[in-house]
Structure 1
């Protein structure tokens, strides 16, 4: 039943995302497919985090949008994001959900559940399940932190190059960081951590979210200042690698 409800929610949100110009047509279709996969193989609590990212990203994108458009640093024609952006930010979280499902369905056995269970606010999880959840939280937190850092950071009057903080760069430049953007990235990660705590009942999510989000966001900036600047990676590649980095950080934090 949860899967049916989740697919229904994904359908409604995909349609609304298109009509509200949150995503373009291709992006809305990709979001529907990803949301459906997360609902069927993960559950509603996993879907909540994915939806939270979309909503937070949309709010950050629309914030002071006219100013961004005037400076020609806006996203899309009306703030909408395309299919490439959706896939780059959503591929890693969806892959984690599928891997978690494969593990819990075909690999994990009842003995592991009894001997390795870790009590949380809602239900016991095995240590391995917590690692998957940490990776998922880390990936979503990174995508969220990076998006709002970019959107809020562009409003800061001073942007510096992450590889040389003494050097000022143009707003929106690859590898550019700002105080406003850095603070926004922490807030974004903390928000995802709080939502994950409420969804999964895992208190450590409050630590994983902001740390993985902040570090993943800055890995994105570092890649932008180096590999993207040299033309080795494009923006979508950088987003994908950053979310993967955030997932790894989140998983490692759960092992502590």
Structure 2
């Protein structure tokens, strides 16, 4: 039954994303892998968190898309996610889900030893940390661009054009906090629904994932901004930010000027480094606290 559910859910979401042009064909195929690896997990937290990230990110990406495209030339392409973006925003989460299934599939907390329950919680922290960063970065990028005031570069605090990698604003920071909190809240609801008895008895630690997610999300977004300001180049061409072309390609574009960063990492790689780092920090915190 679970396998049937995961196949149907993944197929429906992939087809809906294709119709709404949230995903390209390659992105939809990549989403099938992520979806099956996650929805087959008997802990519903993994599926609920993935859905919270996917649905909210798709919504905010389409929100005022024309206005954002006027400021950032990459937004039109970025609004339809390809396989690279899907894998960067889901591969690590899928791996954590598979590791969880290999160790705890079909097993209740009551059947686990103390060390096993600690490892179970560790995987959940890593998963929530990963998607909190992904959601926080997406929310901050999509909503922060619409701020009435120009953002400031995180490294120099000088004003930069909207859409510049490494630019931060009050709206962007608040959005990253809210994005992480949304992921944490989804985790809270899922865990309490499925494991209410284990939490009530104290068998599982009562962790407010909504608070954890908001803090990790904001931290991950700041890490992403720091990387964007230093190892990812942002150029301005005809008053629009361009960040998807290399320095060699921009040499042939008249009027292109470097705003911030260096051409070392692509946007996808920056996202991967930031989200994996945040997940690792979450795991380290869990090991220190429990």
* TM tier relative to shorter chain: 0.7 to 0.9
Indicate how the Cα distance of structure 1 residues 33 and 60 shifts in structure 2: closer, same or farther if over 3 A, else same: same
Q: 2:155 aligns with which of 141, 146, 163?
A: 163
Q: 2:183 aligns with which of 184, 187, 192?
A: 192
Indicate how the Cα distance of structure 1 residues 81 and 178 shifts in structure 2: closer, same or farther if over 3 A, else same: same
Contact 1:85 1:236 in 2 (8 A): yes
Contact 2:72 2:162 in 1 (8 A): no
Q: 1:248 aligns with which of 265, 268, 280?
A: 280
- 1:45, distance to aligned residue in structure 2 (A): 3.0
In the other structure, the counterpart of 1:230 is 262
- 1:152, distance to aligned residue in structure 2 (A): 0.5
In the other structure, the counterpart of 2:211 is 207
Instruction: Specify the structure having the higher radius of gyration (Cα).
Output: 2
- 1:99, distance to aligned residue in structure 2 (A): 2.3
Residue correspondences, number: 244
CA distance in 2, matches of 1:252, 1:12: 36
Query: Aligned runs of 1:112-191 on 2, under 5 Å?
Result: 113-116=112-115, 126-156=117-147, 157-165=149-157, 167-191=158-182
CA distance in 2, matches of 1:111, 1:162: 47
Structure 2 gaps, min length 5: 193-205, 233-260
Which moved further from structure 2: 143-152 or 229-238? 229-238
In the other structure, the counterpart of 2:251 is none
Which moved further from structure 2: 244-253 or 81-90? 244-253
Which moved further from structure 2: 200-209 or 87-96? 200-209
Contact 2:129 2:282 in 1 (8 A): yes
Indicate how the Cα distance of structure 1 residues 154 and 112 shifts in structure 2: closer, same or farther if over 3 A, else same: same
In the other structure, the counterpart of 1:123 is none
TM-score scaled by length of structure 2:
0.78
Q: Secondary structure at the match of 1:14?
A: helix
- 1:185, distance to aligned residue in structure 2 (A): 0.2
In the other structure, the counterpart of 2:257 is none
Q: Secondary structure at the match of 1:76?
A: helix
Structure 1 gaps, min length 5: 118-125
Is 1:56 paired with 2:56?
A: yes
Indicate how the Cα distance of structure 1 residues 90 and 75 shifts in structure 2: closer, same or farther if over 3 A, else same: same
Contact 2:41 2:47 in 1 (8 A): no
Which moved further from structure 2: 234-243 or 223-232? 223-232
CA distance in 1, matches of 2:52, 2:276: 19
- 1:72, distance to aligned residue in structure 2 (A): 3.6
CA deviation map 1:83-139 (0-9, x unaligned): 11111111111121122233446xx9x99823447xxxxxxxx01100100100010
Superposed CA RMSD in Å reads 2.2
Q: Secondary structure at the match of 2:113?
A: helix
Query: Aligned runs of 1:34-73 on 2, under 5 Å?
Result: 34-41=34-41, 43-73=43-73
